[in-house]
Amino acid sequence: MRKRVEILALLVLVCLPALFAQQRFTISGQIKDSRTGEDLIGAVIQIRELPLKSVGTNSYGFYSLTLPAGSYEVTAQYAGYKPCIEKISLEKSQKLNFSLSEQARELDEVIVYGRRKDENVTKTQMGLLKLNVKEIKNIPVLFGEKDLLKTIQLLPGIQAVGEGRSGFNVRGGAADQNLILLDEATVYNASHLMGFFSVFNSDAIKDISVYKGNEPSEYGGRLSSVLDIKMNDGNDKTLSVSGGVGLISSRIVVEGPLIKDKGSFMISARRTYADLFLKASSDTSLNKARLYFYDLNAKANYRINEKNRLFLSGYFGKDVLGFGNTFGINWGNSTATLRWNHLFSDRLFSNTSLIFSNYDYKININSGVKLNIISRIQDYGVKQDFQFFGGDNSTLKFGFNEVYHQIIPGAITAISNVSLKSLTNKHALEHAMYVSHLFSLSQKISIEYGARFTLFNLIGPGTFYTYDNKGNIASRSTVNSGHFVKTYFNPEPRATLNYVFNQQNSVKTAYARNVQNLHLLSNSTSGNPTDLWIPSSNNAKPEISDQVSIGYYRNLSENKYEFSSEIYYKNLQNQIDYKNGAELNLNDNVESQILFGKGRAYGLELFLKKKSGRFNGWVSYTLSRTERKFDTVNSGAYFPAKQDRTHDISVVGMYDLSKRWSLSATWVYYTGNAVTFPSGKYVVDGKTMFYYKDRNANRMPSYHRLDLGATWLRKKTATFESSWTFSLYNAYGHDNPYTITFQDSKSDPTKTEAIQTTLFKLVPSFTYNFKF
Amino acid sequence: MIKNITWLLSVLIVFGSLSACKKVIKLDLNTASPQLVIEGNIYDHSGPYTVKIFQTVNFDESNAYPAVTGANVILSDNAGNSEQLSEIYPGSYITSKINGVPGHTYTLDVNIGGKSYSAISTMPFPVDIESIYFQKSLFGNNKYPGINFIDPANISNYYRLIYLINGIKQEDINVTDDRISAGQTISYTIRPIDTDNKLKTGDVVTIWLEAVDQGVYEYFRTAGREGGQSASPANPTSNISNGALGYFNACSVRALSVVFP
């Protein structure tokens, strides 16, 4: 109740200036694609008479703009679409919806991908990268699978965790410090097939935004970044089918109106068939192996009336892997989101979401012992967001979020008649409240400031242990169901300031604190589906990061080129590392295997993008350092984290050769990760052992790779379209090390040698795509 | 069993990349000053038992480890027995009278040039191997041996397995505990790292089951992890004080041999 009062008070404060100004009215409405009815996120409304009064659409394509009474020429525009102009005489508040049509693509025409042409300079938000699926469709990829998570790794400050991986690190953060949202639901494990593919089927995805630690207050829960992925809503005009057949997978999308112009649906599916090739193997164990994954995305929306709209979206994916009857493991995510958009007035937009998210894995072993292991993390959440368009370029966002987490770390059921101990389940509640206010102080200065307040409760039932420094049990307490074990409260203040020199130049600076209460325990180089999430507890404290960043933004040649440079410094508290030889699997005392320490990360990011013309693409460079500090590691000194990379360069080029052919190439170079190599050797019981001195004191060799791609538009008519895409991964066949291991030499047993394993050299692929 | 899962997962990574290729590379590795290594075993059968003391060498040197001679090595138990070991070869110290008895706790004290190192290990009671079985490998047409044994109830037990083919010790490190299967029959399958070495009909397969204490289990568990896919490889957790590498193991051992059919 008190919360409500505070919100009301804030509302009054923001509305107050409007009461004293001349009479003002509001135009508001929806901006959509005229052909598919798809909402256009981040489309821009501009007023010719008041050039400074511009506003973008929110995640649901809604905008609201309050102006003094008068006559105006209102333009709605979105990159790649024909602008639409309406003349209005504003005497009362009114609805103004726009349907924009896609520009016919001519070769010599200027095509701007992205949103407002100078958004980079004028928008207050910093540390934000946005990608539109259309923008990346020609970038060459491994095995011909378009992959959003691999494409974002070509942007500054975002690094691949390793060769061919969909996992990524943002500004020195660990892989679990990225919040990955699919239509607002958390995706706990975004990778398929040991990380070589992401769970995001790009056919089903509309738009992706990456916030590199400076996310607005409505987001929270992870330290390094937020990856906000929006699924397509579906075509509400006509039924359409598109798909593709590739080397390792096939995809299909069906979309169409539920009720014409009022609602639509989209269903998208993808399945890999690597196991079909295995069937051909003469090896009796290989041809009985199961190895595939599939994804299913579905979404429906329905506009009840001008003020109310419903969305239902879901994702379901699974990896299945097994060998005969002996061993099987499957893992996957499922998410569901039900959202209700409601307009309280033409200036107050509300969205209410019910969110479900689940990640689980199931292992079944039938070798010697017969048993099943099930592990799961499950969320039930409610999220309420309000957006108040206050006029005078002022927008207030506020809301709350409640999540119940249930973690089953490992439930073991035996098939044979042995009784095995399961691990203790964990339950937690996460409450968050946020408010943020965006407004313009003057023509040149705009500010967004706000805060998020997080309250985290670890709740019973269960027996909870506290460990001493050595990892021995110091105390234990048994807590009943629903009782609080541990509570943490953290305010997370955030602010960004933008100073615009002119339409081409701006400087932005930001500060943000982020708090993370769920921690992923993963001590393998690549990440496993069996990695375990643990909640903050008596032992694990909330991870906290404070990031300060400053950036300079410049657009050149009438916004054809976009340049940005950002510097960041991040201080990290309560970071997690592992004791030597930590046992993280099926261990009820897993928290005794963890070390807690601190970290710091800083860097410079440069980005130059050519956004239009027959040739477009970008160059991205990151210079950075990421360090951690733990009392018992390397004598308590700062040491490089494994994701520490000094240099990281990506070059992306796309060229339209003719109406039918387009070519693309990417080149990446980065410093090898920090690793621990032996400093000596000895022998124990006849086996050569290696002696290690300092953690992460060595480097993998530098990594570089060129990929080439080509797309051939075979046929394009009004009703049917087909194309072929070809790609060649690691085109000059550089031996990039995936792992380096050490062993006795096979040729000379009196010596030891280092063995480098390279995964992908010169991997060609092709895909056939169609649409009707 | 958990090790098996990790093993399977690492196989999958290789599996997911059939185009993988391997080559020997030259790396400029850091060097370290020689470190002391102590390796001592006491069994529940009669001695003499050996304690070996030597030093590490740098990675690019040959696999010959300098012996540490002239050390003062004393072995004692909690029943009042104590003796100084004699150096029969450079770096090899042997007992002459002390006997391994299950339930006794043994202390090893080593003094080298004024620096002392010590370790304690308690010898658990022996656990018999019930049977050896063979299981088909997931890949190729290999067969791997495994054993069944009954875990003594009501106490925490730790095991180390040693696998021999025709009397030749294999390098694999195999340990297990009764964390999730206390008091039950435990089946443990050995999955060799060197899969080229296939069992042939007529091979004599021998498995030793050592009942070890927690410190020794921790040593071999963390030693086995070293070569795995851990992101931060480290030295095994030794039960010897003062930073010495190696281990001191007082264990009961039972063996069973079968001829591979």
- Residues A541/A531, Cβ–Cβ less than 8 Å: no
- Considering the entire predicted model, what is its pTM? 0.87
Domain count, chain A: 3
Q: Is B221's CB within 8 Å of A412's CB?
A: no
Express each pLDDT in A619-641 by its tens digit: 999 999 999 999 989 999 999 99
pLDDT greater than 70 at residue A277: no
Residue finishing a domain among A196, A228, A260: A228
Look at A414 and A716; give whichever has higher pLDDT. Answer: A716
Range in A47-51, A171-175, A218-222, A355-359 with the lowest mean pLDDT: A47-51
In 3D space, the residue among A352, A490, A372, A376 whose CA is nearest the CA of residue A425 turns out to be: A376
Residues 6+ apart with CB under 8 A from B16: A193, A194, A196
Tokens encoding B139: 């890949």
- Whether A223 and A339 map to the same domain: the answer is no
What is the percent of chain A where pLDDT is above 70? 92
Chain A / chain B CB contacts < 8 angstroms: 225
Range in A58-62, A192-196, A478-482, A727-731 with the lowest mean pLDDT: A192-196
Q: Is A585's CB within 8 Å of B2's CB?
A: yes
pLDDT greater than 80 at residue A194: no
Residues 6+ apart with CB under 8 A from A709: A138, A139, A140, A141, A663, A664, A665, A725, A726, A727, A728
Which among B13, B24, B225 is the nearest to A755, CB-wise?
B24
pLDDT greater than 60 at residue A297: yes
Express each pLDDT in A371-400 by its tens digit: 888 999 999 999 999 999 887 678 999 999
Q: What is the CATH number of the domain that holds A617?
A: 2.40.170.20
Look at A647 and A246; give whichever has higher pLDDT. Answer: A647
- A152 in a domain, yes or no? yes
In 3D space, the residue among B250, B253, B237, B248 whose CA is nearest the CA of residue B39 turns out to be: B248
Residues of B in contact with A738 (CB under 8 A): 17, 20
The pLDDT value given to residue B194: 66
Tokens encoding B175: 């340990």
- The confidence band for A16, taking pLDDT boundaries of 50, 70 and 90, is very low
Average pLDDT over residues A164-192: 91
Please give the Cα distance from A420 to A375 (Å, whole number).
15
pLDDT greater than 50 at residue A423: yes
Residue finishing a domain among A228, A248, A274: A228
Residues of A in contact with B230 (CB under 8 A): 523-525, 581
- Whether A602 and A496 map to the same domain: the answer is yes
Q: Is B181's CB within 8 Å of A418's CB?
A: yes
Which among B30, B34, B180 is the nearest to A421, CB-wise?
B180
Shortest CA distance from A525: residue in chain B:
B231
Nearest-neighbour CA in chain A from B116: distance (Å): 20
pLDDT greater than 80 at residue A288: no
Task: For residue A29, give its domain range.
Answer: 2-100
- A112 in a domain, yes or no? no
Please give the Cα distance from A564 to A555 (Å, whole number).
8
Nearest-neighbour CA in chain B from A478: distance (Å): 21
Express each pLDDT in B21-30 by its tens digit: 888 988 888 8
Phi/psi at A442 (nearest 5 deg)? -150, -175
Nearest-neighbour CA in chain A from B111: distance (Å): 20
- Whether A213 and A312 map to the same domain: the answer is no
In 3D space, the residue among A46, A124, A12 whose CA is nearest the CA of residue A439 turns out to be: A124
Average pLDDT over residues A541-549: 96
Confirm or reject contact between B137 and chain A (CB < 8 A): yes
Question: Which range, A119-123, A329-333, B180-184, is most confident?
Answer: A329-333
Q: What is the CATH number of the domain that holds A211?
A: 2.170.130.10
Shortest CA distance from B34: residue in chain A:
A680
Residue finishing a domain among A228, A254, A285: A228
Range in A184-193, A284-293, B31-40 with the lowest mean pLDDT: A284-293
- Whether A193 and A241 map to the same domain: the answer is no
Nearest-neighbour CA in chain B from A580: distance (Å): 6
The pLDDT value given to residue B15: 45
- Whether A188 and A271 map to the same domain: the answer is no
The pLDDT value given to residue B239: 95
- A547 in a domain, yes or no? yes
- Whether A137 and A265 map to the same domain: the answer is no
- The confidence band for A147, taking pLDDT boundaries of 50, 70 and 90, is confident
- Whether A487 and A580 map to the same domain: the answer is yes
The pLDDT value given to residue A398: 96
- Whether A596 and A687 map to the same domain: the answer is yes
pLDDT greater than 80 at residue A141: no
- Whether A37 and A184 map to the same domain: the answer is no
- The confidence band for A246, taking pLDDT boundaries of 50, 70 and 90, is confident
- Whether A566 and A580 map to the same domain: the answer is yes
- The confidence band for B242, taking pLDDT boundaries of 50, 70 and 90, is very high
Confirm or reject contact between B233 and chain A (CB < 8 A): yes
Which among A367, A678, A683 is the nearest to B189, CB-wise?
A367
Residues 46-85 of B with CB under 8 A from A: 54-59, 62-65
DSSP state, A81?
Answer: B
Domains in chain B with CATH codes: 36-122 (2.60.40), 124-259 (2.60.40)
- The confidence band for A160, taking pLDDT boundaries of 50, 70 and 90, is confident
- A106 in a domain, yes or no? no
Residues 6+ apart with CB under 8 A from A649: A619, A620, A621, A622, A667, A668, A669, A670
Confirm or reject contact between B179 and chain A (CB < 8 A): yes
The pLDDT value given to residue A45: 86
Q: Is A698's CB within 8 Å of B229's CB?
A: no
Residues in chain B: 261
The pLDDT value given to residue A111: 39
Phi/psi at A299 (nearest 5 deg)? -150, 145
Residues of A in contact with B229 (CB under 8 A): 524-526, 739
Residues of B in contact with A580 (CB under 8 A): 222, 232, 234-237
- A113 in a domain, yes or no? no
- Whether A503 and A586 map to the same domain: the answer is yes
Range in A19-28, A381-390, A482-491, B205-214 with the lowest mean pLDDT: A19-28
- A389 in a domain, yes or no? yes
Residue B131 three-state SS: strand
The pLDDT value given to residue A46: 85
Express each pLDDT in A574-590 by its tens digit: 999 888 778 887 788 88
Confirm or reject contact between B187 and chain A (CB < 8 A): yes
- Residues A441/A393, Cβ–Cβ less than 8 Å: no
Please give the Cα distance from A286 to A293 (Å, whole number).
17
- Whether A594 and A732 map to the same domain: the answer is yes
Nearest-neighbour CA in chain A from B148: distance (Å): 8
Confirm or reject contact between B19 and chain A (CB < 8 A): yes
In 3D space, the residue among A410, A148, A284, A292 whose CA is nearest the CA of residue B12 turns out to be: A292
Which among A586, A678, A756 is the nearest to B59, CB-wise?
A678
Nearest-neighbour CA in chain A from B77: distance (Å): 23
Express each pLDDT in A349-366 by its tens digit: 999 999 999 999 998 887
Nearest-neighbour CA in chain A from B72: distance (Å): 21
- Residues A431/A454, Cβ–Cβ less than 8 Å: yes
Nearest-neighbour CA in chain A from B79: distance (Å): 28
- The confidence band for A5, taking pLDDT boundaries of 50, 70 and 90, is very low
The pLDDT value given to residue A133: 74
Question: Where does residue B154 rank: exposed (0-12), middle (13-18), buried (19+ CB within 10 A)?
Answer: exposed
Residues of B in contact with A585 (CB under 8 A): 2, 5-6
Q: What is the CATH number of the domain that holds A52?
A: 2.60.40.1120
- A111 in a domain, yes or no? no
Mean pLDDT for all residues in chain A? 86
Express each pLDDT in B193-215 by its tens digit: 666 678 889 999 999 999 999 99
- The confidence band for A312, taking pLDDT boundaries of 50, 70 and 90, is very high
- A110 in a domain, yes or no? no
